[in-house]
Amino acid sequence: MGLIIYGRITKAHGLSGGLKLSPFSGRLESLNSIERIYIEMVLGQVPAGFNLRECRFDKGSAIVYLERIETIDEAEKLIGRDVYIEKSELPGLEEGEYYWFELIGLETYTEDGRYVGRVESLIDRALQSVLVVKDGSKEALIPLSEPIIKEINLEESKIIITPIEGLLVED
């Protein structure tokens, strides 16, 4: 099983077991090709699988209905749980496009080789996404756009940036 984290259940929706799912990526429409999601019912244990009965989109989130979750009480027990999907079920991307899970953990460097930090998470904004890069107590918010992002190299697990003035906190 090649599970990757996809998002988190943020609240119950309606009385018939609907769940609001907030993705950890900007590619919410990828849920259209997925038949089964996995929910971490108990921290540290193998996530339980649920077939998707219905999925619709609402303001950057998905409203999902799952088999075996049919009441608001059952849905409320899942609030705050992480949702996983099979990596093999994700649709392919165009050249230069990446899923967020591929970027998390990459080491970030400036063009001159200075270490900036490790990508810890991403923030989805209306106009562009932002990388949250940390090195110890230092944090940099780096727009995921040209001309700042010079190279993303998944094979070498690194990102090369061209920082603009004021982007990085200097020691």
Q: CATH for 100-161, among 2.30.30.240, 2.40.50.100, 3.60.20.10, 1.10.3720.10?
A: 2.30.30.240
Ranges 46-50, 57-61, 72-76: which has the least confidence: 57-61
pLDDT number for residue 25: 65
DSSP conformation letters of 17-82: TEEEEEESSS-GGGGGG--EEEE-SSTTSPPEEEEEEEEEEETTEEEEEETT--SHHHHHTTTT-E
Nearest to 26 by CA among 54, 1, 57, 3: 57
Nearest to 69 by CA among 78, 57, 60: 78
- pLDDT over threshold 90, residue 31: no
pLDDT number for residue 76: 96
pLDDT number for residue 58: 82
Q: CATH for 3-89, among 3.40.50.280, 3.20.20.150, 2.40.50.100, 2.40.30.60?
A: 2.40.30.60
* pTM score above 0.85: no
> Domain limits of the chain?
3-89, 100-161
Residue 16 three-state SS: coil
Whether 3-89 and 100-161 share one fold: the answer is: no
